[in-house]
Amino acid sequence: MAKSKYSILFEDNDIVVIDKPAGMLTIPDRFSPAENLRALLTSKYGQIFVVHRLDRETSGVLVFAKNADAHRNLSIQFENHTVTKIYSAVISGQLAEDELSIDIPLMPDPVHKGLMRPSARGKDSLTIMKVIERYRIATHVECDLRTGRQHQIRVHSASIGHPLLVDSLYGKSEAFLLSTIKRRYNLQKNEEEKPIISRITLHSKTLGFKHPSTGADVEFTSELPKDFKALLSVLRKYSAIPTITNKFQNSFKTIQ
């Protein structure tokens, strides 16, 4: 169950743009009775059309159509990969490149149902990854999703050896604890440590497309949620890279 309700970033007669909290389903899950955005919006508007989805634990911006014509128009834009989709992510380890193009085809995993895997037989999948900030144990990156395959950023990150810092499916961690990076972290007797973030470290930051009726370019942005900001804060405080190290790395790249 999501900790907070969704918020509406924009709406008119054709579309409604949502800021989805982590933990809320986009559409019903036959394995979970949890509330979902499609049902909530259908109850509010009478009818709603799903254009795209976000994973349950991914927060951020997504758009729904209010009528069939708008749905058809937006679906074509998504199919043609003309939609701008920018995500914020925190990945494990230090990404060496400042910008990296990950062009790795993906396909459904035939062994593990519901998962994806890299494969030459898969569909073309392209992610442009740019470094925002590096830490000793992680990197804050911005991902420009040029295609929209299921779990694309999660699989692409894992495939280059830098899975999301928190990702139980494609990485190794279900949560991030302060004790991971803070020395001499002590708990009181019988006290259980609360995680800084306990869902995948991925946020849908920006969504841009042509309005289905007017044709105007529109763009919507979702601010980083509290748990994501808290993670970045503790990484800066307890896992910062000394400035001299960054200067050395830049000099080394120039010499090469």
**pLDDT tens digits for 57-76?**
999 999 999 999 999 999 99
Contact at 8 Å (CB) between 227 and 22?
yes
Inside any domain, residue 233: yes
pLDDT of residue 244: 56
Positive or negative: CA dihedral 33, 37, 41, 46:
negative
Residue 51 forms part of a structural domain:
yes
Contact by Cβ (8 Å): 184, 71 = no
Q: How confident is the model at residue 242, as a pLDDT?
A: 85
Residue 153's pLDDT is what?
A: 98
For residue 252, report the phi and psi dihedrals to the nearest 5 degrees. -65, -40
**Enclosing H/E stretch for 237:** helix 226-238
Please name which of 164, 186, 95, 89 lies closest in space to residue 136, comparing C-alpha atoms: 95
Is 254 a member of any domain? no
Q: How far apart are CA 201 and CA 154, in angstroms?
A: 10
End-to-end CA distance of the chain: 50
The tokens for 89 are 């992510």
Confidence of residue 2 (pLDDT cuts 50, 70, 90): very low
Could you give the number of structural domains in the chain?
1
Both tokens assigned to 191? 């006290």
- Compute CA distances 128 → 3, 100, 175, whole Å: 31, 6, 26
**pLDDT of 105-136, one tens digit each?**
999 999 999 999 999 999 999 999 999 999 99
Q: Is residue 191 part of a domain?
A: yes
More confident residue, 4 or 222: 222
Which tokens in the block code for residue 137?
A: 């144990």
The reported pLDDT for the residue numbered 186 is 75
Give Cα separations from 138 to 62, 102, 226 (angstroms).
27, 18, 19
Q: Does 84 fall in a domain?
A: yes
Query: Per the domain annotation, does 2 fall within a domain?
Result: no
Q: Which residue range forms the structural domain that includes residue 165?
A: 7-249
Please state, for a pLDDT cut of 90, what percent of the chain lies above it.
Answer: 83
CATH number at residue 233: 3.30.2350.10
Range 136-163 average pLDDT? 98
| Cβ burial 162-195 (10 Å sphere, 16+ → b, else e) | bbbbbbebbbebeebbbebbeeeeeeeeeeeeeb
Q: Is 67 contained in some domain?
A: yes
Domain assignment of residue 1, yes or no: no
| Catalytic (active-site) positions | 55
